[in-house]
Structure formats: structure tokens, C-alpha cells
Amino acid sequence: MRILLLLLLAGTAVAQAPSSYRPYASLADIMAGVLLPKSNAVFDVTKRAPKDDVEWTAVQTDAAVLAEAGNLILTPGRLKENGQPVPHTADFRRHVQALVEAAKAAHKAALKKDADAVFVACEPLYQACYGCHQAYRFCPTCQEAGHP
């Protein structure tokens, strides 16, 4: 029993150990290199449905990477283009979570090869991007205040 308790405590300590990872790319780099191309690829399904398994796999992967981008955005130590830290307010996290959930819905629809369901998922995806940009990209005073 003592050994089990020690292993459990050791595992907890390892799980809580701070990461030595330090982000390199700025939020602008993540937006331009990941979010913009991946979201555009998902949005493109609303104009033209994938024709074969190769195209569906690309949309599936793009949506999955888009969902994972939330983790990149919220990585501790990530900086904005101006060198200031990415906000970690509840409001900002809510916007990021909306992006993640919308991208997951698009991914699930793409796994089913359902262009109509991808189309439906694009509205909350657009709203997640638009809402965050309104609050944090186009409102400089809001960025510092941490709310729209």
C-alpha cells in the first residue's frame, strides 16, 4: 500500500513539474501560419465539397490542427507580435475555447465526410474568430483591459 501511495505521489509530482518548453513563435506567427490557412481550408468546404478520400483527409487534418491551435495560443510564455504576453483572462480563454469547440465540430463532420455538417460548423468557427478579433485585435484598449 505504501508503495502504491509513493508511486501515486511521484506521478503527481512529475505531472505538475514545470515544462522546459518555451514558445518561439509569436501569436501573429501562429495566426498566419496555422489558423489562417487551416480555417480557410475548412471554410472552403462551403464553396466546394471534397471529391475524394484524399481531399476529405486534408479537411479532417486541417480541422484537427485548427482545434489543437488553441493549445498553441494558450501556451504559457506565448507573446504577441508587440512582445507583450498573450492574455490569459477568462474572456480570452472563452474565445479560444469557442474556436476549439467549433473546430472539433468541423473535424467530426469531416470524419463523416458530411459537407453539410462542415458547412454548419463553419458559422460558429467564423463567430469564434470574429468575436476574438473584435475584442482583442481591433480594440487595442480592450487588450490591456482583458475584455471587450
In a domain, 50, yes or no: yes
pLDDT, one tens digit per residue, over 16-44 is 556 788 999 999 999 999 999 999 999 99
State residue 102's pLDDT score.
Answer: 97
State residue 138's pLDDT score.
Answer: 74
CATH code at 136?
1.20.120.10
Bigger pLDDT: 7 vs 66? 66
With bands split at pLDDT 50, 70 and 90, how would you rate the model's confidence at 146? very low
State residue 7's pLDDT score.
Answer: 45
Give the chain as a DSSP string.
-HHHHHHHHHHHHHHHSPP-----S-HHHHIIIIIHHHHHHHHGGGTS---SHHHHHHHHHHHHHHHHHHHHHT-TT-B-TTSPBPP--HHHHHHHHHHHHHHHHHHHHHHTT-HHHHHHHHHHHHHHHHHHIIIIIS-HHHHHHT--
In a domain, 11, yes or no: no
In a domain, 13, yes or no: no
Ramachandran area for residue 113 (φ above 0: left; ψ -120 to 50: alpha; else beta): left
* Domain count across the chain: 1
State residue 137's pLDDT score.
Answer: 80
- Chain-centre distance of CA 17, in angstroms? 24
In a domain, 15, yes or no: no
pLDDT, one tens digit per residue, over 73-125 is 999 999 999 999 999 999 999 999 999 999 999 999 999 999 999 999 999 99
Q: Over the chain, what is the mean pLDDT?
A: 86
State residue 6's pLDDT score.
Answer: 43
Domain range holding 131? 23-145
In a domain, 10, yes or no: no
